[in-house]
Structure 1
Amino acid sequence: MTDSEAERAERAAFILTLRGRGIRDVAVLRALELVPRALFVDPTLRRHAYEDVALPIACGQTMSQPSLVAAMTEALSLNAEHKVLEIGTGSGYQAAVLCHLASQVVTVDRYRSLVSEAQVRFRVLGLRNVAAFVGDGLLGLSTRGPYDRIMITAAGPELAPALVEQLKPGGILVAPMGDPREVQMLRRFEKGPEGVTATDLMPVRFVPLVPGVAATL
């Protein structure tokens, strides 16, 4: 078996695992199948690329396990016309998955090195509908908004007002809410005429959503 055949087999088994974890959206499963997770992990962790586990990345951050990436993506209820804002670029894996489901993806991270590495991966994959920026996630990126969907991949006790403001009426925001030192609750927020309503999805663990831009990394 060649390397490419071996990876195809890995990715096929990976999709079966996600189905077994309860992921049913065919478009979401296809998006995860199209994105080579191995490209986004540290080479020393390559053997774990298609396991359903979270993995460490640079700057003390983590890459969520694929079943959580899939569940959060499902919760956004995306279509091909949506513009999505992601807060917390990390490795770029989640943004790459979103690229196969949305019209435009804007992703923001406080770490310059993570943004630079993600941009390289996006270019390697030929993803033209994603733009990555260094910035304060709590402020979002109003110059590219408003957004149909927002995903936050770091935890905080409450929603940042700037992000709620940048979400279009009728839009959906998915975020882990709670104390970063404890188990948090993944919530799906919908912005309606009466305000924002929340639905609890599942308990999760995420790194904290930290204000500002990192000074050195």
Structure 2
Amino acid sequence: MRNHTTEENMDGKDTKPVIALKRHIQKYVQTLLSDIKEMKSRETDSKKEVASLANLLEQRECVANVDVVGLTLATLFPDVQPRLLVNISAEVDAKLDKLKDLIEPLRRHSAVAYKARCDALTLIRKYSDDLNMHTLTAGQPTIPPLTVMLDWIDVVEKKTREIYYTRLYYLENIVDQEIVKSDCLVTLWSEDIPALLNIVQDCEEQSRYFLEEKFQ
């Protein structure tokens, strides 16, 4: 019996498992480039909201400590301080809910990337003869090797997951100044975003010709 895989390779054609993996990666990259548009839009909105949240937290701290600094407001108007704290806390809660909604695309895409990675690994294990190290590391002048593109999936999955859960942790522990202080919140919020955007930019630039391929 002739080896079908070898025969197709000698003809310079990809085997069916290779085509299946390329199609799978192509579909994921298309999804990533579509999802990143929403993530960028949400990121712009979240920066504004988190700056507003930090301001509210500072206001709440000032109002809560008004009697500590020797002011007489709490003495002269005993009901003002509690009402201000209630109003500010309500605004803080609204900001927290909005920010949790704004970071949701990160969680969703992390799940998409995780599934894409698992499905790719399943293909590689199932068709290990075709999807061997030589095949996976072979590149073209205008198309990166499959290993590079698989690494994109891995890095994006980890980055989106880490950013989402780090931000969620900050939001759920916003009253604990030992975890996050209001004057550090804005900086902490955005510290990992540049790395994510850089990997997506690399993916977009290097996969341009790969996305034009038609895998039958």
- TM-score of the aligned structures, taking structure 1 as reference length: 0.19
Which structure has greater strand proportion? 1
Say which structure is richer in helix.
Answer: 2
- The higher radius of gyration belongs to 2
More RCO (CA 8 Å, sep 6+) = 2
